[in-house]
Structure 1
Amino acid sequence: MAIGLSLRSILDANKLTGPNFIDWFCNIKIILKQEKKAYVLDGPVLEEPSDDATNEEKEVYRVYMDDLDQATSVMLASMAPNLQEQHEAMNALDIILNLKEMFDKESCTKRFDISRELFRGQMFEESPLRPHVLKTIGYLIRLE
């Protein structure tokens, strides 16, 4: 679990303040992926199983809700206090949707800036290929 603790320290150093939403969200996805909980961000919240559901269905739901609660806690712990207060009654999915709404203009501008740098990138004659390719891949990953 030492790896999990060291990865979570990334979030301590890079708390969400607003303009850094894209970087923060990338870090959240890395942490949750490492902890095998990133799947909770992939879709709507599971519906609670009915009373006549199998024990397996009830267990799947219980595990999912535990993972969703943990993802929500990680997100809230890595936010500035004013954002924590705004989102404390939401689950991880609702938090992400709300933050995307709040900071969409900033993300659009940041995507534009990254795209501009990507398209301006030129490789000059007799310059090494490797640094150019790595820089281009870096831009593409940031855009993703």
Structure 2
Amino acid sequence: MVNSLSLRSILDVNKLTSPNFIDRFRNIKILLKQEKKAYVLNGPVLEKPSDDATNEENEAYTVYVDDLDQATCVMLASIALDLKKQHEAIKALDIILNLREMFDKESHTERFDISRELFRCKMSEGSPRKPYVVKMI
């Protein structure tokens, strides 16, 4: 039975831009996990088998390369056009490293600013709790 559930529509919602890198990368991993291809991002990188490799080793490498190409295409399809042009000639693992280098600093800064604002937030005595709780959430 063919699995009719496709999560590819989650990539159509928004293209990757700097503020949403973490969310977009999470969506890509979810999609690849559903398609049984997430191992190419998490597992060891397979090296091309030697000339005296067995048929099984050659087949495993071919499947790995195909899955890596599909993961690369999914990633390219989910990023904005300017980023797509920068990354179209490289593989998924290198795309991830490059995008993390570009956008992780911004994500850390944004999280730090939100945390700092949260920790500075104090409820004044006698004020209603509801607005304070809503702001904390």
Q: Which TM-score band (shorter chain)?
A: 0.7 to 0.9
Partner of 2:76: 76
Supply the distance in 1 between the matched residues of 2:14 and 2:77 (Cα, whole angstroms).
Answer: 11
**Cα separation, partners in 2 of 1:60 and 1:14, compared to 1, 3 Å:** same
Given residue 3 of structure 1, which amino acid in structure 2 is its aligned partner? L
**Cα separation, partners in 2 of 1:19 and 1:52, compared to 1, 3 Å:** same
Q: Percent identity?
A: 77
The residue correspondences of 1:95-106 to structure 2 (distance < 5 A) are 95-106=95-106
Offset at 1:2?
A: 3.1
| Residue deviations 1:49-72 (CA, integer Å, cap 9, x gap) | 001001000011000000000000
Q: How many residues align?
A: 120
User: CA contact under 8 A between 1:44 and 1:93: conserved in structure 2?
Assistant: no
Offset at 1:78?
A: 0.9
The residue correspondences of 1:1-144 to structure 2 (distance < 5 A) are 1-4=3-6, 7-112=7-112
Task: Give me the TM-score of the superposition, normalised by structure 2.
Answer: 0.78
Offset at 1:45?
A: 2.8
Structure 2, gaps ≥5 residues long:
121-136
Supply the distance in 2 between the matched residues of 1:114 and 1:33 (Cα, whole angstroms).
Answer: 30
User: CA contact under 8 A between 1:15 and 1:78: conserved in structure 2?
Assistant: yes
Supply the distance in 1 between the matched residues of 2:50 and 2:11 (Cα, whole angstroms).
Answer: 37
Offset at 1:74?
A: 0.4
Given residue 45 of structure 1, which amino acid in structure 2 is its aligned partner? V
User: CA contact under 8 A between 1:72 and 1:91: conserved in structure 2?
Assistant: yes
Return the structure number with greater helix share.
1
The alignment partner of 1:2 has SS state of coil
RCO higher in 1 or 2 (8 Å CA, sep ≥ 6)? 2
Partner of 2:132: none
RMSD: 2.2
Offset at 1:14?
A: 2.0
Given residue 46 of structure 1, which amino acid in structure 2 is its aligned partner? L
- Rg: which structure is higher? 2
Offset at 1:106?
A: 1.3
The alignment partner of 2:19 has SS state of coil
